[in-house]
Structure formats: structure tokens, C-alpha cells
Amino acid sequence: MPELPEVAAHAERLSVAFAGASLDRFQPLHPAALKTFDPRPADATGRVLASVGNRGKYLLLRFDPSDTDDGNRRLTFVVHLMQAGRLRVDTQKAPKPRGGMARWTFTGGAALLLTEAGTERRAGVWLVAGDPAEVEPLARLGPDADTVDRDELARRLAGASERVHGFLRDQSHLAGIGRLLANEVLHSARISPFVNTSRLDGDAVDRLHAAIGQSIERGLAAERLLDDMGRSADRPNDVHHRVGKECPACGDTVRAVEYRRYRVAYCPACQTGGKVLADNTTSRFLK
């Protein structure tokens, strides 16, 4: 799933390409695409796209208030790409594009197409009025991971009492971190993925906070070099896609604990005092 660096860089590209364009039509192409019914998509017609931004893993297409809107409300299309969704420039405008979920067509003919590979159809669009941060799906999010300060992070860690890898991936704690970033952050911070958050001392919190910022900035810098959102396999990583290979920091073999839908990658020498964790979900993990 695209994480904060990929989504933020893609928002920048789309904002440069489409900001200032007037919306001619929004068209759901799949019945599961649009998750809201009020306001109506037609209410956004004729409005100017002010910018494209992001909140965590969500893209935000912000449209200026309309002169005819008594409430003078900004409308925002909130887009979640999920695992296999992509929002790209639509040059073909096919009536039934492969994997098509929704299309935004602007005055002059330029268009954006939301697609999703596979059959799950989990990518979605919400149209909200006013501040999108106050309503679902954004209201449940914690602060963006690249904006949280050290003391706020410490408070959230102490109050969670759960494995730190799961904490980082929980969007209600911090928004924008997924599996790849969680693995990379913890490797950079030299922290076991399975240590309980309540047991992290001040030095560990300092390292974790620094690693979050550094890992996100590393990913963002790489994404800004691309013309489109990159693949997970091409994103900067030291452990996530290196299981069985040498750790670039110390030369030890990168290991993983495998789950049904994902893996937790780590370096024993860097993170667990040299101990290799048993590769099953009922293991006795490091404390």
C-alpha cells in the first residue's frame, strides 16, 4: 500500500498538473467507489481545484467554494488508494477503463482516473464539505507521522502498551506509516519490532522519533525523482525487501517473522541483541 512519502509526492505532482482547473464532471465508474451521498458530486461541478494534498495515506482534492454556494463551503474529494489503487492522468478516457473506479474530467478535457487492480474494489472516494479532518474517514486519524513532535510521540507510546511495530502501523496513533516504513523506522532506530511501547525509555523514544522523520524524508526524496508513484520494491529500504540478504548497516542476515498477509523484517544484530525470533505467530517475542 502506498505510504505517506509516496502519497505526498504524488499529491505534489498532481497539484502542479491540475491546480487551477475547473471541474466539468465527476463520474463514479464502479458502484463501490463513492462512499458518501451528501454533498452530491454535481455540487463540485464548475469549481476550481485549489490544490491536491494529503493526510496520511489519503489524497485530498480540494475545490474552492462556489460563488453560488450560500454556505461558502470548500468541497474536498478524499481518495484512499488502498493496496492496489492508483490516481493517474487519464489520456484515453475509455468508457469502461480496466479497473476503473472513478473519473474527474476538467474543462478543456484533462482528466484524472482512479483505478484499482484486482477484484477487491477497496479503493474509495469521499466527498465532504468544510474541513475534511472533522469527518470520516479522516476524523479517526492520529497526527501525520512526519509532523508529530517528540513529546507527543512519547505520550502516545506510553498510553498504547502494545508492540511497537503494530503501534506504528495503527493509523489512529500516527497517520501515514505502513509495513515498509514500520520495518525501516525500527531498523533505523535499532529497536526490536516486538518490544512493548510502554517499555521504551527516553533514549529509545528519541531514536524512534528521529528515525520516523529520517525514513519518511528518505522515501519522499526518492519519490520526488519519479514521474509517477513508484512500486514498493523500488522504494528505499534496508530490511523490508532484503530478507535473507546482508544488512547494509552491519552485515548480519536480515530475518523476518512471517504472518499470513505480511512479514515483519528485522536485523538481529541491529535490533534484537543478536537473537533470531522464531518464525511463527505464537513465538515468545523479545520484551
Q: Using one digit for the tens of pLDDT, what is the confidence trace for 180-229?
A: 999 999 999 999 999 999 999 999 999 999 999 999 999 999 999 999 99
CB of 230 closer than 8 Å to CB of 223: yes
Distance between CA atoms of 14 and 227, rounded to whole angstroms?
A: 10
Those residues with Cβ within 8 angstroms of residue 126's Cβ, 6 or more apart along the chain or in another chain: 34, 35, 36, 77, 78, 132, 136, 137
Tell me the CA distances in angstroms from 146 to 13, 150, 203, 223, one per residue in order: 19, 11, 19, 16
Residue percentage of the chain with pLDDT more than 70: 95
Query: What pLDDT shows up at residue 67?
Result: 66
Predicted confidence at residue 181, as pLDDT, reads: 98
pLDDT band at 283 (very low <50, low <70, confident <90, very high): very low
pTM (2 d.p.): 0.93
Give, in degrees to the nearest 5, the angle at Cα 27 between 41 and 50. Answer: 55
pLDDT at 103 over 50: yes
Q: What is the pLDDT of residue 95?
A: 93
Task: Please give the Cα distance from 285 to 287 (Å, whole number).
Answer: 6
- Grid coordinates representing 262 are 505480511
Residue 96 banded pLDDT, cuts 50, 70, 90: very high
Task: Determine what percent of the chain is predicted with pLDDT higher than 90.
Answer: 89
Instruction: Please tell me the distance from the alpha carbon of residue 201 to that of residue 196, in angstroms, as a whole number.
Output: 11
User: Mean pLDDT, the chain, as a whole number?
Assistant: 94
